[in-house]
Amino acid sequence: MDFEYSEKSLELQKRVAHFMQVHIYPLEKEYMEFVEANPWKVFPKLQALKDLAKAEGLWNLFLPKDYGDLSPGLTNLEYAPLAAIMGRVVWASQVFNCSAPDTGNMEVLAKYGTESQKKQWLEPLMAGNIRSAFLMTEPEVASSDATNIETSIVRDGDEYIINGRKWWSSGAMNPETEVYILMGKTDPEAQRHVQQSMIIIPAKTEGVNIIRALRVFGMVESPEGHAEIELKNVRVPAENLLVDEGAGFAIAQGRLGPGRIHHCMRLIGAAERSLELMCKRVATRKAFGKSIGDFSSIRQDIAKSRCEIEQAKLLTLAAADKIDRFGIKGAKDLIGMIKIVVPRMTCEVVDRAIQAHGGMGVCQDTPLAVFWVYARCIRIADGPDEVHMYQLGRNTIKQSIQA
């Protein structure tokens, strides 16, 4: 592959970086203070930032060019470095309408939605007027194996009735979230990978009960939140089903490819910024008669971090390039590899930066503590590390035998 970015991507990188510099970094602290003091309320200046990003054409850049007119026309490889720039501030990607889980849900609706589903839900999501959540994980079963999920979706005339309990539904606490895409079972007796279906549920449907918001390492992660939700005799029109009964698993597989590139590149942006903060800190602070940056152990940490970030970035760009050229199926091993490598790398790099900051590193005066929590969570969210290693190991053995 060619590791040079296209002219188009380079120009957008400059513009997104400039936008971050002028409009986002100056509000970084104010944003965090607001969401901490006002649980489940949206930062009042967010809408103006979104309007500005939209007016500047820095909007929905995540949607790859194979989506035709809906897409601003970038490949995954061209978008990847933009996600890294956005990842330098944990809440920035929503300003550009490029944040999870909306991006994955928009891709699902764009790829599989009917014209009326697109009109009702994709259009307001792409306009940034509403937000969404993805409901798959359940408290009662090991959801890293999605065939375990138990929530039932039962046809009743021209409606479906949904019963079950979900948790870790990210974004469901946000007052702007109006729609869920839920995965459940329409036929528990069918063959293992066609028991599941996906269905659209408006958030305010009767029988949808938000039980509580789950804390993450003690934090509430407002305003998005991660909800535990009970679904009790929830009725939606039959036309809310995505594709057909039994298509849920296949849709879920397709949903996760580009989304993993986005998560990984955002993490790489967080790791790069952590290393920059570490370098600045150690260059300006003295201990035991010399600059902290002159201690060999600190220089080794910095050198290791630079190497690891660069390795992870090249791997992720290779995965993005492979998706562009061979589709999600053709890139599945590389997608697995980045999911295994990048969150761990980010945890390590951020941890070194935290250590070099001393007490300051664990408090709210730098973004480091929040970066670490984000990276640690991604080792579980979207499937735990071990599941990706289990599958990559299996594929590698199979390929070796066939070779």
Ligand X SMILES: Cc1cc2nc3c(=O)[nH]c(=O)nc-3n(C[C@H](O)[C@H](O)[C@H](O)COP(=O)(O)OP(=O)(O)OC[C@H]3O[C@@H](n4cnc5c(N)ncnc54)[C@H](O)[C@@H]3O)c2cc1C
Cα 159 to Cα 236: distance, rounded to the nearest angstrom: 6
In terms of CB distance, is 194 or 389 closer to ligand X?
389
Q: How far is the CB of 292 from ligand X (least distance, A)?
A: 33
Cα 331 to Cα 325: distance, rounded to the nearest angstrom: 9
- Find, among 291, 182, 328, the residue nearest to 241 by Cα: 182
Q: How far is the CB of 169 from ligand X (least distance, A)?
A: 5
In terms of CB distance, is 210 or 318 closer to ligand X?
210
In terms of CB distance, is 58 or 381 closer to ligand X?
381
CB within 8 Å of 149: residues ≥ 6 apart: 136, 137, 138, 141, 143, 164, 183, 184, 185, 196
In terms of CB distance, is 224 or 321 closer to ligand X?
224
Cα 109 to Cα 105: distance, rounded to the nearest angstrom: 6
Pairing of strands 131-135, 177-185: parallel
Q: How far is the CB of 391 from ligand X (least distance, A)?
A: 8
In terms of CB distance, is 53 or 208 closer to ligand X?
208
CB within 8 Å of 11: residues ≥ 6 apart: none
- Find, among 184, 171, 329, the residue nearest to 242 by Cα: 184
Cα 347 to Cα 27: distance, rounded to the nearest angstrom: 25
In terms of CB distance, is 253 or 355 closer to ligand X?
253
In terms of CB distance, is 59 or 168 closer to ligand X?
168
Instruction: List residues binding ligand X (CB under 6 A).
Output: 101, 134-137, 142-144, 168-170, 216, 226, 377, 380-384, 386-387, 390
Q: How far is the CB of 380 from ligand X (least distance, A)?
A: 5
HEC sequence for 133-201 = EEECCCCCCCCCCHHHCCCEEEEECCEEEEEEEEEEEECCCCCCEEEEEEEEECCCCCCHHHCEEEEEE
Cα 161 to Cα 185: distance, rounded to the nearest angstrom: 11
Q: How far is the CB of 394 from ligand X (least distance, A)?
A: 10
Q: How far is the CB of 181 from ligand X (least distance, A)?
A: 10
Please say whether the beta carbons of 271 and 305 come within 8 A: yes
Please say whether the beta carbons of 259 and 267 come within 8 A: no
Q: How far is the CB of 133 from ligand X (least distance, A)?
A: 6
Q: How far is the CB of 378 from ligand X (least distance, A)?
A: 8
Question: What SS3 state is found at 232?
Answer: strand
Locate 225 and state its tokens: 């939140």
Residue 71 Cα distances to 23, 108, 125, 299, 358, angstroms:
25, 14, 14, 44, 45
Q: In whole angstroms, what separates CA 380 from the centre of its chain?
A: 12
Cα 106 to Cα 83: distance, rounded to the nearest angstrom: 17
In terms of CB distance, is 348 or 382 closer to ligand X?
382
Query: Cβ atoms within 10 A of the Cβ of 256, count?
Result: 17
Q: How far is the CB of 57 from ligand X (least distance, A)?
A: 29
Q: How far is the CB of 221 from ligand X (least distance, A)?
A: 8
